Amino acid sequence: MERRNGCGAARFGIAGVIALIAVIGYFSSSSQNPITGEKQHVDMSTDQEIALGLQAAPQMMQEFGGEDRDPEKNALVDQIGNEVVKGSVASKAPYRFEFHLLADQKTINAFALPGGQVFITRALLDRLTTRGQLAGVLGHEVGHVVARHGAEHMAKAKLTQGLTGAAVMATYDPNNPNSAGSAVIAQMVGQMVNMKYGRDDEIESDKLGVKFLAESGYDPRAMIEVMKILKEAGGGGRQPEFFSSHPNPENRIERIQQAIKDQFPNGLPNGLKS
């Protein structure tokens, strides 16, 4: 009995050390985002983000059938993406933005890697009807990059992994198979925490997208039209893959509308491109 109690105390001690290291590592790595003004917990430099994105880009392209071979469509995506970046405060971010059209004609999706690699599938592009809608999709993804959501998510994942490992170490008893359930619960809690942050990221990227579009001369209401197109693409059946990586609560459109009102209380400027 004394030996089992001693082992249990040792496990709790080790778990405490693991948790402490994870927490200290997370909160000691912080910086202020020059674009958003937000204090963020990240543990990599912008140069590391760029390198990570460039390293991961070929694999991501391969998963979606490679880059689309239509030169006109590729040129359009590149042109609109660069207009959004160069015409907005996003141009002050220290990233090298590159825009890619993926050949996948079945998967409706768009996403961005840390450091400025931005992707949109042909399946999504073909459903857009205006240049402003394309700017809305790309502007939202540029928002993820500028807000450093990828770097934030990786830092949070490391924290979650450390705390989950500590919880498993503290509660798992090799002599009691039932204690394995606590490890599963700990992992579920970690997933829920990261999911919440993901939804917050989407809200921030929508707000940044509104800002970037208006600054670059596009009507940010095009983002609302994009959401309507995506809902129609769902057709009441299987939702587009876009919604797997971009949580779509029912009030997403209302939030975009509110962001427009907040940023332009006297109304949008005249002459914006649709």
**Model confidence pLDDT, tens digit, residues 102-158:** 999 999 999 999 999 999 999 999 999 999 999 999 999 999 999 998 888 776 666
In contact, 146 and 35? CB cutoff 8 Å: yes
Among the ranges 5-14, 85-94, 233-242, which has the highest mean pLDDT value? 85-94
Any alpha helices (H) in 28-66, and if so which ranges? Answer: 46-63
Q: Is-above-0.85 flag for pTM?
A: no
pLDDT in tens, 203-227: 899 999 999 999 999 999 999 999 9
pLDDT at position 243: 62
Structural domains counted in the chain: 1
Residue 77 lies in a domain: yes
User: Is 272 part of any domain?
Assistant: no
174 within some domain: yes
Measured between alpha carbons, how far is 255 from 249 in angstroms, rounded to an integer?
10
- Our measurement of the distance from residue 54's CA atom to the centroid of its chain's CA atoms, rounded to an integer in Å, reads 17
In a domain, 271, yes or no: no
Give residue 221's pLDDT. 97
Q: Domain limits at 54?
A: 2-263
155 lies in some domain:
yes
- The verdict on residue 196 lying in a domain is yes
- The answer to whether position 127 is within a domain reads yes
pLDDT reported for residue 175: 56
- Specify if 268 maps to a domain: no
Alpha-helical (H) ranges within 92-221 are 122-125, 131-146, 149-171, 180-215
User: Please, what is the angle between helix 2-27 and helix 149-171, to 10°?
Assistant: 170
- pLDDT value, residue 174: 53
